[in-house]
Amino acid sequence: MTQMTILIIVAAFVGAAALVVALSQLLNQRHGNRLESRLEALTHQVKRDSESKERTPTVLAEPIEDKTSLTTQLLKYFPNLERLLEQADVGLAPGRLVAIATVLVGVGLAIGVVLKLHPALIAILPPALGSIPFLWILWRRRCRLKAFAAQLPEALDMLARALRSGQSLASGFNLVAKEIPAPVGKEFGRVFEEQNLGIPLEESLRDMAERIPNLDLKFFATAVILQRQTGGDLAEILDRISSLIRERFTIWGQVQALTGEGRLSGIILMALPVVLFLAIYRLNPDYVMTLFTDPLGQKMLAVAIVMQILGAIVIRKIVTIKV
C-alpha cells in the first residue's frame, strides 16, 4: 500500500468524522430551554390573517416562468436547509447547494474507482466530500450568529439613546442599520424596510427572532411587543438587556478559560491516533499493514474509528457549557 493511499485513508477518516458532525447539526433542531420556548410562544401569539388563509393561485395570476423543478419540489420537504442558508447569509439557493454537493460526491466516487481503493473507502469518500459544502455553510452560520451576538449590545444601546433623544422606534432601527455593520445592521435595516412596506413592527420583530436563533434577541423582541401593548420605559428596558448580555459574555469568557484544558485534551486525544499511525508507518510499514490485510485487524480498525468519533462527541458535550 503506497503512501498516497495512506493519506487518502486518513483524509477519508477525517471526512467521515466531519460528516457525522454535519448530519447531527442538520437533523437535530434544538428548541432551547423552557424560558426560550415561552418567549418564542409569546412572540408568536399574533398571527396574520393572510397566513391562516391559503390562496389557490389561478392560471392568470401564476407567472409563466413559475415552474418548479424536481429538486425544488424535493427541497420543500427540508425547510431547515433553506433557513440554514438564510442564517448563513451566503446568497446561495438550496438547489444549487445540493447540486454542488452532488458533484463532489461524484468526484469522490471517481477518485475511489480510479485509484482502486478498498470498497469501504469508496463508500466513505464520496459522502465525506459531499459534506464539505454543508460544513462550510454551518461554519458561515456559526460565525454570523457569533458576530450578531457580539454586536447586539451596541445596537440596543444605540436604540435606547435614540429613544431618549426623542426619536421614534422606527428611526432608531434606521439609525442602527446605518451605523452598525452587518449582520446586526442588515437585520435591523430589514425590519425598518418592512415597516415602510406596511408590515407591523411586531410581525417584523417576530420574523427577525425566527431568522436569528438568539435568546437575547427574543428578550428584545418580547420587550418591544409588550411595551407597545402595555406601555413603559423601553429605553430603560433596553439598557438592562444590554447590560445582561455583556455580563453573560463575561461569564462565557470565564467558562472558556476554565474549559480550555478539556478542549485542548480533546484535540490531542483526537489527533494522537492519526499522528501515531503515520509515525509508525514511516518507521515500520509492515507493522501497521496488519490492520488492513488481516480480517481481525480490519475489524479492530473499524471499531477504533467508531470509538474515536464517539469519544469526540462525548468530550464536546462535556466541555460545552451553555451560558
45 domain-assigned:
no
44 domain-assigned:
no
Which of 51-60, 98-107, 189-198 bottoms out in mean pLDDT, i.e. has the lowest? 51-60
50 neighbors 103 (Cβ within 8 angstroms)? no
**Quick check: 47 pLDDT over 80?**
no
pLDDT at 3: 53
**Quick check: 170 pLDDT over 80?**
yes
Say whether both 309 and 229 belong to one domain.
no
Give this prediction's pTM.
0.70
Which of 42-56, 98-112, 126-140, 271-285 bottoms out in mean pLDDT, i.e. has the lowest? 42-56
131 neighbors 11 (Cβ within 8 angstroms)? no
Percentage of the chain beyond pLDDT 70 is 75
pLDDT at 145: 94
Sequence-separated (6 or more) residues with CB below 8 Å from residue 118: 292
41 domain-assigned:
no
318 domain-assigned:
yes
Name the domain count of the chain: 3
pLDDT at 60: 39
238 neighbors 156 (Cβ within 8 angstroms)? yes
Say whether both 5 and 99 belong to one domain.
yes
pLDDT tens profile 215-227: 999 999 999 999 8
> Could you list the residue range(s) of the whole structural domain that residue 308 is in?
259-323
55 domain-assigned:
no
Say whether both 232 and 303 belong to one domain.
no
Question: Grid coordinates standing for 226?
Answer: 409588550
Which of 5-9, 188-192, 248-252, 277-281 bottoms out in mean pLDDT, i.e. has the lowest? 5-9
108 neighbors 125 (Cβ within 8 angstroms)? yes
- At position 92, the amino acid (one-letter code) is L
pLDDT band with cut points at 50, 70 and 90 for residue 92: confident
Say whether both 96 and 160 belong to one domain.
no
Say whether both 182 and 290 belong to one domain.
no
pLDDT at 141: 94
- Work out the end-to-end distance of the chain between its first and last CA atoms, rounded to an integer number of angstroms: 49
Say whether both 204 and 243 belong to one domain.
yes
270/292 Cα distance (integer angstroms) = 21
Say whether both 99 and 162 belong to one domain.
no
Which of 43-47, 50-54, 103-107, 163-167 bottoms out in mean pLDDT, i.e. has the lowest? 50-54
Say whether both 20 and 102 belong to one domain.
yes
58 domain-assigned:
no
**Quick check: 45 pLDDT over 70?**
no
16 domain-assigned:
yes
Say whether both 187 and 109 belong to one domain.
no
Question: Once rounded to an integer, what is the mean pLDDT over residues 130-155?
Answer: 94
pLDDT tens profile 52-71: 444 444 433 444 444 455 55
196 domain-assigned:
yes
Choice between 199 and 30, residue whose per-residue pLDDT is larger? 199
What is the DSSP code string of 135-202? HHHHHHHHHHHHHHHHHHHHHHHHHHHHHHTT--HHHHHHHHHHHS-TTHHHHHHHHHHHHHTT--HH
Say whether both 150 and 209 belong to one domain.
yes
Q: What is the CATH number of the domain that holds 194?
A: 1.20.81.30
Kindly list the distances between the CA atom of residue 73 and the CA atoms of 76, 77, 132, 245, in Å, as whole numbers in the listed order. Answer: 5, 8, 23, 41
Say whether both 311 and 269 belong to one domain.
yes
